Amino acid sequence: MDNELAKLKEILAEVDDLSRASALLGWDQQAYMPRGAAEARGQQQGTLDKLAHEKLTSPETGKLLASLEKSAKSWDADSDDAKLIKVTLKRYERGVKVPAEMVSEKAEITAMSSQSWQEARSKSEFPIFQPDMEKVLDWTQRYAQLFAPVEHPYDALLDEYEPGMKTSEVKAIFDGIRPKQVELIKSISGKPQVDDSMLHQHFPEKGQWDFGVDVVTAFGFDWERGRQDKVTHPFMTNLGYGDQRITTRVNENFYNTHLFGTMHEAGHALYEQGIPKELARTPLYNGTSLAVHESQSRMWENLVGRSKPFWSHFFPKLQAIFPEQLKKTSAEAFYKAINKVSPSFIRVEADEATYNLHIMLRLELEIDLLSGAVAVKDLPDVWDERFQAYIGVAPPDDARGVLQDVHWSFGLMGYFATYALGNLISAQLWEVIQRDIPTLDAQIGKGEFKSLLDWLHEKIHRHGAKYEPQELVQMVTGSKINGDAYIRYLQKKFGGIYSL
């Protein structure tokens, strides 16, 4: 048994190495690669992804897993090795249903589509991206069919990012919070609006960048094991133990874009930097799920970064960097400005009260695209129509509408629901954190985050991918994923800001 386990770990380490190498190529593609290299880069990533897939789904891996699954019945069910067998077996069973050629095909398609998306977004012209998006959708539909029969066709995609969760669960959760969020937004709309004009000034890039670096350093981001670069659409990628990279973008005429994007991606990286080295080069060296991952990024971005205690400490520092822009602004006015509730076009810049509506729209569109109810050529018009219905405003162009997110160009369908689920989990965790660390607000008000990060390392990060999302949330909070804590959080916060 020991020899079999060692052999399996050897295979999984090679699979992980290949996958991380492909991720490195993907990071470079977004950050530094010249546009003309897209085709070659797709072929390179396709080769690596195919090799990783073939190793994971080989007969040797299957034989080892079948034997070790029997042995694992006598092991501690929560041990790293027992969880490794369980998680790997699920990945294997999914993987053997997917032809290796489809894996490399996806890499080649998405290398080209991510480039056409960047061009289309910069020119605000969806037709530039449309042919590649059609290829992505065709691949996704064929991929989903490999897992039939399922309760809902979308389940095959969702399970890739939220292990064990069903589309019906997500819809039920969203149905429970949508009317409460809509009611909150309606109440806010009847109140005098917050003045956020101080955010719409010229803030030179260097000052923004340096302040963002100072903030995420205070959070605990380890620069010996990470770096930050500029891209079109921010993301974080884990390239292996000791190499967590964050990316960001800067808008010199709107302050929120850079800082909150930087805090968000740093939140993802803090999660990955907290996973023990012992889990490296295995399927456990990842976050539990994308929703749990998103709970970490949204927590640092919003529950910490948009909080009043945070700005009581950091606003004087920001004011010192931008004295002319902020000389007439108080910390209280700035706090209200960054939390202004107003219908907006860009998801990543949306306020907390309206953010989830952006996600519900995308979930609905993805389901309709998968089923064929919406054709790619009609996507811009359908997007604009439904955006008006959900958010209350019509996007003025494709760049601020259907082209604003990079995910579809990467073939990441089934992904968007995780963003809203992450919001809900963050609030569930926050209530437990505040109970366990009663002086948390005072610590944040001093710019101290060690206790918070230590709590997250202990309760969330150290487990890596050992548990499914519902298991982990239940274990830490006492209940499965639900919107109750998030609604309480929104009502308390915005009730104070808007005197509801």
pLDDT at residue 245 is higher than 80: yes
Please list, in sequence order, all residues whose beta carbon lies within 8 angstroms of the beta carbon of residue 120, skipping any fewer than 6 positions away.
Answer: 126, 127, 128, 129, 398, 403
Q: Mean pLDDT across the chain, nearest whole number?
A: 96
Task: With cut-offs at 50, 70 and 90, classify the pLDDT of residue 233.
Answer: confident
Give per-residue pLDDT as tens, 14-29.
999 999 999 999 999 9
Tell me what percent of the residues of the chain surpass a pLDDT of 90.
97
Cis peptide before 380 (omega within 30 of 0): no
Q: Average pLDDT, stretch 391-410?
A: 94
Question: What pLDDT is recorded for position 348?
Answer: 86
Q: What CA–CA distance (Å, rounded) separates 333 from 195?
A: 8
Q: Residues of 45-56 as b/e, b for ≥16 C-beta within 10 angstroms?
A: bbebbbbbbbbb
Catalytically annotated residues? 265
Residue 466: the pLDDT is 97
| Mean predicted confidence (pLDDT) in 421-448 | 98
Write out pLDDT tens, residues 37-61: 999 999 999 999 999 999 999 999 9
Instruction: Determine the pLDDT at residue 2.
Output: 84
pTM recorded for the entire structure:
0.94
pLDDT value for 310: 98
CA atoms within 13 A on the CB side of 252: 5
